[in-house]
Amino acid sequence: MKIAVVYNRASKNVINLFGMPNQERIGLKTVKRIVDALKAGGHQAVALEGDKELVEKLEEFMPRVLKGEIPGMVFNLSYGIQGQARYTHVPSILEMVGIPYVGSGPLAHSLALDKFISKMIFRQHGVPTADFSVLRDRDFEPPELDYPLIVKPQSEAVSFGIKVVKTAKELREAADVIFAEYSQPVLVEKYIDGREINVGLLGNHPAEALPPAEISFGRTGPKIYRYEDKTGRSGRTIGVDCPAKLTRSQVTKAQDIAKAAFSALGCYDCARVDMRLDEQGKFYVLEVNSLPSLGEHGSYTHAAEVAGLDYTALVNRLVAVASARYFGTPHPPQIPAKTDDPGKFTFSYITQRRDAIEKRLKEWISLSSRTSDPVGLREARTKFETVLTQMGLGRVDDLSNEHSAWTWVTKKGLDNGTLLVCHLDVPLSAESPPEVFRRDPEWLFGEGVASSRAPVVMLEFALQALRTQRQLRRRRIGVLFYTDEGRDALYSENVVRRAAAKAKQVLVLRPGRTGHQILTQRRGQRKYELTVDGPSRRVGQVRTQPEALLWFSEKLAAITKLSSRKERLAVAAVDVRSENFPTLTPHRVRATLLMSYLDGRKADDLEKQIRAILGKRPVRWRLEVVSDRPPMKDRVINKRLAKALLSTASEWEIELDKGSSLWPSVAGLVAGKTAVVCGVGPVARDLYTPREAIQRISLVQRAIVLAQFLLKIETR
């Protein structure tokens, strides 16, 4: 499990420093010991400061999970940075963003920190506690309590401001100090002269009480545990005796009282209950520490060790009891060596490899293979063929060529099977600056991350999940990859058509659309190269024949008006270049026109209209078709295939929908009785731009859907 140890020590990374600052500090040595203990327990652990960047750091370390997947957890050590009820700040944030954590929730922390409220709750629940009162301001009337009294801030921890007073004058002096330094009411309670006993609690429903520990104050100084004692600045040595020298009945009584106090405040997982034992053998609860110290010399860790839990075991036991509270099991389920349910195995296999998936994606992004880079394409091909070889697939020469497209199949072959199609080239120009891998909590970025890299990685892990169970070789599956998407698949087109004709169904691993959509329909696209030649002239020279650039601009305005949403037709210029001699107006204009269409006959008619607008005079022009990518029609068999994918996703509570796209793909090459669905890759945005990205969780989701769908393929 991924576990983030969240603490507060030095960071003041907040929007404003405002309100009462936190004075508690946790030792970095303790933080390191906890991280090391978690790693020894098999967890992946990091330490994070609990400041304003906490959510972002947590989301990067443990991204959003799928339903049914065990999420990461926070091991909470946070005291807060400033303000009221500081112990509640990080737990409240974790509650809001939905991250499980070790320890009590905001309510219990707030009740435990407010010593006046907690003592009232103790009284209501029959938990013995000393008589008390609260002083709200400096003009207080002395409480009707017998001296000596003990005073402390109402809502502080670790014995800040604590003092024993024996007279009304001392009471007023001590209270004035608390009002001045802590700006809060003063709790006054009857001082119980006796032994100080601490009882640690571990677990829930019911909590398990650890052996009682006794604080040894020595012969000098007051018999109270002050902040100066806890930080080693008092000049005296405070010891911990565990187990405390109590009778069996006293041990039982102390543990029962501690459990009652723990329950009354609604604590979770762990706490330490401090109490006094007077000369008559009666226990009085002083307070509940809802965030007990896990320092090396603390009474809580001493008691755990006496109970048989060394430090590593204690830390991992705390994770286990929190896991039981959240997930109903003390240990998150691990991948079984064998299972009768391939679907559950596949789900676990992929979800437990999130880090490996993102690491693999980073490797692919660092490998440059733009469409115009033959060296990079060769390296990408070698890398991917190594993966397919390891999967046990073999190349089919009849369904491959030597320069742009290759088909690999399982031992069962491809006939009447499932063909998976992806491409390895990144359709960017050589002039585009490279983009390195980076991520934020929701999105993964990098060159070709959506158009090429993420689909390849999700395919690799989906196939690996099947191979690990020896399910891959039993199925008719083919993988076709090509390297000329940036050239409109001109050279791979015939291979795609022939391979698709062999298959029963084709899944094209192009990026999915926002809204969790896969695609059953895509428009076709024709690319034209328009060249216009006209006379050049000096600026200001008058000629009857129009300038090439002006003439082109007028015609282009008329051509773009031919677009029709009703007819699902669109035409636009996407690239315009002019040529001219120095000091003369352009004599040649070259433009790339794109036509988007769904019906080929309507596209033919539109082309005729474009040629009619260009006319025969007065300039020379030439319109050539560079490429024609056919549309992917919304056929019945495509809808059935999409329905099967949606059903598979629904079984694993993964959101999936179907839609259409204006952009073409090789899915339009699949015809006849072969069903095809496109957009099976991860959800993407800003395709072919420097901001291209995939939704982080969809990389895992789509890998699961693909693997689970392939599991359902008949093995005959």
**pLDDT per residue as tens digits for the range 239-284:** 889 999 999 999 999 999 999 999 999 999 999 999 999 999 999 9
**pLDDT per residue as tens digits for the range 373-382:** 999 999 999 9
**pLDDT per residue as tens digits for the range 627-661:** 999 999 999 999 999 999 999 999 999 999 999 99
Does residue 85 or residue 404 have the better pLDDT?
A: 404
Nearest C-alpha neighbor of 506 from the set 376, 412, 638, 410: 638
- Measured distance CA(288)–CA(569) in Å, rounded: 72
Residue 465 CA: distances (Å) to CA of 338, 347, 424, 461, 707: 13, 9, 22, 6, 7
Segment 161-190 shows an average pLDDT of: 88
CA 31 to chain centroid, in Å, comes to: 24
pLDDT given at position 329: 53
Give the confidence band of 236 by pLDDT, cuts at 50, 70, 90. Answer: low
Nearest C-alpha neighbor of 315 from the set 40, 8, 590: 40
Residue 656 tokens, joined: 């999936």
30 touches 296 (CB < 8 A): yes
Residue 501 CA: distances (Å) to CA of 174, 409, 418, 519, 634: 90, 14, 11, 20, 18
Q: Tell me: pLDDT of 603 over 60.
A: yes
Angle between helix 248-265 and helix 106-113 axes, rounded to 10 deg: 120
708 by DSSP, 3-state: which? helix
Residue 84 tokens, joined: 């009221």
Amino acid (1-letter code) at residue 690 = P
- Measured distance CA(253)–CA(256) in Å, rounded: 5
- Measured distance CA(62)–CA(506) in Å, rounded: 34
Taking only Cα atoms into account, the Rg of the chain, rounded to an integer number of angstroms, comes to: 36
Alpha helices by DSSP H, listed for 286-403, are: 299-306, 311-327, 342-351, 354-365, 374-390
Nearest C-alpha neighbor of 198 from the set 281, 138, 119, 277: 277
- Measured distance CA(427)–CA(450) in Å, rounded: 11
Does residue 616 or residue 213 have the better pLDDT?
A: 213
Residue 365 tokens, joined: 């992004």
Pairing of β 2-7 and β 73-77: parallel
Q: Which residue has the tokens 């409109």?
A: 488
Q: Tell me: pLDDT of 515 over 60.
A: yes
Dihedral angle, C-alpha 641, 647, 650, 656, nearest 10 °: 20
Average pLDDT, the chain: 90
Give the confidence band of 337 by pLDDT, cuts at 50, 70, 90. Answer: very low
Dihedral angle, C-alpha 231, 233, 236, 237, nearest 10 °: 30
Q: Tell me: pLDDT of 671 over 50.
A: yes
pLDDT given at position 710: 97
pLDDT given at position 237: 72
Sheet holding 524-533, edge to edge: 570-579, 588-597, 524-533, 620-629
Exposure pattern of 93-109 as b/e (b: 16+ CB <10 Å)? bbeeeebbbbbbbbebb
pLDDT given at position 334: 39
Pairing of β 438-439 and β 443-445: antiparallel
251 touches 84 (CB < 8 A): no
Q: Which residue has the tokens 């670790």?
A: 158
- Measured distance CA(465)–CA(264) in Å, rounded: 48
Give the confidence band of 92 by pLDDT, cuts at 50, 70, 90. Answer: very high
Q: Which residues contact 1 (CB under 8 A, 6 or more apart)?
A: 43, 44, 70, 72, 73, 319, 323, 332
**pLDDT per residue as tens digits for the range 449-502:** 999 999 999 999 999 999 999 999 999 999 999 999 999 999 999 999 999 999
Q: Tell me: pLDDT of 218 over 70.
A: no
53 by DSSP, 3-state: which? coil
- Measured distance CA(553)–CA(574) in Å, rounded: 13
Segment 109-138 shows an average pLDDT of: 93
Q: Tell me: pLDDT of 339 over 60.
A: no
CA 41 to chain centroid, in Å, comes to: 23
Does residue 219 or residue 142 have the better pLDDT?
A: 142
Residue 122 CA: distances (Å) to CA of 110, 191, 211, 260, 683: 15, 17, 22, 9, 54
**pLDDT per residue as tens digits for the range 151-160:** 988 887 656 7
Q: Tell me: pLDDT of 217 over 90.
A: no
pLDDT given at position 297: 79
The sign of the dihedral angle between the CA atoms of 600, 601, 605, 611 is: positive
Segment 80-107 shows an average pLDDT of: 92
Structural domains in the chain, CATH included, are: 2-101 (3.40.50), 111-130+192-327 (3.30.470.20), 344-522+632-711 (3.40.630.10), 524-629 (3.30.70.360)
Give the confidence band of 231 by pLDDT, cuts at 50, 70, 90. Answer: low
Residue 149 tokens, joined: 């009294």
- Cβ-based burial of 149 (10 A; exposed 0-12, middle 13-18, buried ≥19): buried
